[in-house]
């Protein structure tokens, strides 16, 4: 079923792939905003992997993104992990955290999720990245792993970007769109993620935000705003806006050890 959030629409196109579309004439409210976007678009499109992920025709921007929500039910507590935005290589390889920039296994799997005792996946054999990612995707969707949680993965901003550089991460998307249009996109994406959380977490469970924009958008107004020092100290605990679902904020995955430690401490509370 196609989901619509104002100018943003998306639909599932496989096990974890999302096909997304943004109406640029509705996202940008002034001619100047649109003009600045068009001036930057060519350079953004040439950034690593973007030419394979984005298509723009007239007022419609289409792109591929990712979302991993297992449909299998279990008695395990549902836990939704919300990251900043997709890395282009992960979308193209059909799996979250498909590999590091040097082609090695991403730190998220062994150094963060496994060492925090959140998730233990069987070690994938061989060096074929395509097969490894397909196997990991299958295990995550079928709950074939050791954990007290039934884990789902989402991104806060659906627009993918390179892992680093001028157009890297959420900051790169904001640079492309401009601050005002980016705030409008954040509001639409917030509604999308909250809808996912409500469907995935019926009663008990939790949401973990790994990124500043995600935490600040999803938290209630009465919860404290994001500060990296508070995330490191495991003090970011609140509630998902419009729900009773606990929300935890942890450092970004690039800070491997602080992220791992905060996950272990925060999720040990539920």
Mark whether 145 and 236 lie in a shared domain.
yes
d(CA 69, CA 152): 5
Q: In the prediction, which pLDDT does 2 show?
A: 43
Instruction: Look at the chain and report how many structural domains it folds into.
Output: 2
For 65-120, where are the alpha helices, taking DSSP H only? 88-92, 107
In this model, does residue 230 exceed pLDDT 70?
Answer: yes
Q: Is 256 a member of any domain?
A: yes
β-pair type (77-83, 149-155): parallel
Q: How many CB atoms lie within 10 A of CB 221?
A: 7
Which among 66, 86, 101 is the end of a domain? Answer: 66
**Contact criterion met (CB below 8 Å) for 55 and 41:** no
Mark whether 153 and 33 lie in a shared domain.
no
Q: What is the pLDDT of residues 46-78, one digit of tens each?
A: 999 999 999 999 999 999 999 999 999 899 999
Q: In the prediction, which pLDDT does 4 show?
A: 45
Assign 233 to helix, strand or coil: coil
Q: Is 248 a member of any domain?
A: yes
Mark whether 237 and 143 lie in a shared domain.
yes
32, 37, 62, 79, 118 from 188: Cα distances, Å: 22, 19, 16, 22, 30
Mark whether 97 and 208 lie in a shared domain.
yes
Full residue range of the structural domain in which residue 193 is found: 77-267
In this model, does residue 190 exceed pLDDT 60?
Answer: yes
Assign 108 to helix, strand or coil: helix
Q: What is the pTM of this model?
A: 0.94
Q: In the prediction, which pLDDT does 1 show?
A: 37
């Amino acid at each position: 079923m196609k989901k619509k959030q104002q100018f943003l629409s998306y639909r599932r196109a496989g096990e974890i792939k999302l096909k997304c579309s943004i109406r640029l004439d509705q996202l940008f409210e002034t001619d100047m905003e649109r003009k600045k976007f068009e001036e930057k678009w060519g350079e953004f499109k040439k950034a690593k992997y973007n030419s394979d992920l984005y298509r723009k025709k007239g007022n419609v921007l289409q792109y591929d993104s990712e979302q991993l929500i297992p449909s299998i039910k279990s008695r395990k507590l549902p836990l939704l992990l919300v990251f900043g935005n997709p890395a282009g290589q992960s979308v193209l390889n059909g799996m979250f955290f498909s590999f590091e920039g040097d082609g090695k296994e991403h730190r998220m799997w062994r150094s963060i999720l496994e060492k925090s005792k959140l998730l233990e996946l069987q070690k994938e054999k061989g060096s074929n990245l395509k097969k490894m990612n397909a196997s990991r995707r299958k295990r995550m969707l079928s709950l074939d792993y050791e954990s007290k949680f039934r884990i789902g993965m989402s991104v806060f901003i659906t627009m993918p970007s390179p892992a680093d550089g001028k157009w890297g991460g959420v900051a790169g998307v904001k640079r492309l769109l401009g601050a005002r249009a980016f705030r409008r996109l954040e509001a639409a994406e917030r509604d999308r993620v909250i809808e996912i959380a409500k469907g995935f977490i019926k009663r008990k469970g939790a949401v973990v935000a790994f990124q500043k924009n995600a935490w600040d958008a999803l938290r209630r107004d009465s919860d404290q705003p994001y500060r990296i020092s508070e995330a490191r100290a495991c003090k970011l605990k609140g509630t998902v806006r419009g729900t009773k679902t606990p929300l935890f904020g942890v450092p970004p995955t690039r800070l491997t050890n602080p992220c791992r430690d905060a996950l272990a401490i925060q999720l040990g509370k539920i």
